[in-house]
Amino acid sequence: MPRASDILIVLTYAMIAVVSALAFERLGLMSTSFAWLMGAGVFLIAGQAHSAAARSIERREMLAEIEALKAANLDLAEEMAEAQSRLDTIADTIRAEAHQREETLTNEVRVLEDLVRRMGAGAPASAANAGVASQNPVDIDIVRDALAANRVDLYLQPIVSLPQRKTYFYESFSRLRDRAGNIIAPAAFIRAAEDAGLMAEVDNLLLFRCVQIVRRLTQSDRRIGIFCNVSLRSLADEDFFPNFLDYMRRNSDLASSLIFEVSQAAFEARTPGAARNMGRLADFGFRFSVDQMTDLNSDFSDMQRAGVRFAKVEGQRLVTAIRNQEPIGGLEAGAIQAEDIPSLFAKYGMDLIADKVEQEQTVVELLDIDTGFAQGHLFGEPRPVRDDILDETTTQPIRRSA
């Protein structure tokens, strides 16, 4: 159906033709029939001109639409190319993560196989102590079996801020279970391992298991900080530590969540090899804590250089040192005000943590000197990590070497 504008244009051309014919006739320029023929000619010429103009406009519009379609097609092609690029990037990332996980798992298996093999090689030592084996609370084979089967539980105790008592960190404690599910007390398996000459291997496996579980725990919350005990034997073990260092390098993202803890006695007695390995871990961003500090007049600068960022002092021991105005951090007795003691630790890059806090009165005295953190049964006892989280960390059992 013609548009209204087209009808009006046709009527306009018709009127022009009629007027032209009447004008030719009235002016006597030509006969009536010829005048009307001329009017018809004017109508046809006007129609042809209009048609040509309309086709020109349509052609321009069509060309514009074609150009718009070409531009849209180019934009679509670019978007598809960008989408393909993103898919390729995602695929590369997935492949890289899979490769990294495979390398990490391979490294874990290599470390575990080596440790379990070394524990197996220690069997003759257990046999040599057969005379005292019956006196041990647990047999070394039970310890070997618990470690190889990954029956290692992680207990966590909160470390809170004062005075808010908000949990900022946890200290981890490792416990073993036998096949019946009974907890093997640390004193029991430590004595068995010492009698068998395998304490270094047990320390290393417990440390490795602790790191594995901590890695799982921190996947859901990177803000969590966990103190993991490490023995001097592990730090000085040049057979174990290179692989462990490589493993920690691949898991350097744990550096903000994992704090390795050694006792003051172990720290001060560390060998050059242990000090070197501590330095390597510090190079990867890992921090250290020194606990069981009984001598507060220690070399704080040495601790700072070694990467120590936390110092744990038994709450009552700290209170006694304050009351007796003992020398602290190389300063003479009475040279520092009690409320400035935490600041002295902070000067050397360390946070002071009062541990083994059992009474509210101790908390009051700690608050008097602005102690920032505290730990002890008063704030929460060590509790096992949920079984479902522990199950997620389980790896395939490691075969013993023949």
93 contact partners, CB below 8 Å, separation of at least 6: none
Q: How is 351-372 classified by DSSP, letter by letter?
A: EEEEES---HHHHHHHHHTT--
Task: Pick the more confident residue, 231 or 308.
Answer: 308
Same domain for 37 and 138? no
21-52 pLDDT, tens digit each? 566 666 656 666 666 666 666 666 766 666 67
Query: In CATH, what number is assigned to the domain containing residue 257?
Result: 3.20.20.450
Same domain for 168 and 44? no
Q: What is the pLDDT of residue 176?
A: 86
In the listed set 64, 82, 100, which residue is the last one of a domain according to the structure? 82
The domain total for the chain is 2
Across 107-116, average pLDDT: 54
Q: Which of 210, 219, 243, 287 is nearest to 104 (CA)?
A: 243
Q: What is the pLDDT of residue 181?
A: 86
Which residue has tokens 């440790």? 115
Q: Is the pLDDT of residue 149 over 90?
A: no
Chain mean pLDDT for the chain: 77
- For 245-381, list the strands marked E by DSSP: 258-263, 287-291, 308-314, 351-355, 373-375
Q: Is the pLDDT of residue 252 over 90?
A: no
**Is residue 16 in a domain?**
yes
Same domain for 221 and 367? yes
**Is residue 328 in a domain?**
yes
**Is residue 27 in a domain?**
yes
In the listed set 82, 111, 144, which residue is the last one of a domain according to the structure? 82
**Is residue 221 in a domain?**
yes
**Is residue 105 in a domain?**
no
What is the DSSP-derived secondary structure letter of residue 136?
S
Same domain for 76 and 133? no
Which residue has tokens 């349509």? 58
Task: Pick the more confident residue, 399 or 245.
Answer: 245
**Is residue 92 in a domain?**
no
Same domain for 64 and 139? no
pTM metric for this prediction: 0.66
**Is residue 401 in a domain?**
no
Domain housing 214: 122-392
Q: Which of 246, 255, 252 is nearest to 228 (CA)?
A: 255
pLDDT band for 116, please (50, 70, 90 cuts). low
In the listed set 82, 109, 132, which residue is the last one of a domain according to the structure? 82
pLDDT band for 398, please (50, 70, 90 cuts). very low
308-357 pLDDT, tens digit each? 999 999 999 998 988 888 899 888 877 888 888 999 999 999 999 999 99
Q: Is the pLDDT of residue 272 over 80?
A: yes
Same domain for 152 and 214? yes
Same domain for 144 and 288? yes
170-186 pLDDT, tens digit each? 998 888 888 888 888 78
Across 365-374, average pLDDT: 92
Q: Determine contact, residues 398/148, Cβ cutoff 8 Å.
A: yes
Same domain for 72 and 215? no
**Is residue 94 in a domain?**
no
Same domain for 289 and 181? yes
196-221 pLDDT, tens digit each? 777 777 777 778 878 877 887 777 66
Task: Pick the more confident residue, 364 or 66.
Answer: 364
CA 337 to chain centroid, in Å, comes to 40
287-315 pLDDT, tens digit each? 999 999 999 999 999 999 999 999 999 99
Same domain for 168 and 244? yes
Six-digit token pair at 252?
A: 């350097």
Same domain for 150 and 29? no
Q: What is the pLDDT of residue 239?
A: 82
CA distance 354 to 296: 13
Same domain for 199 and 66? no
Q: What is the pLDDT of residue 29?
A: 61
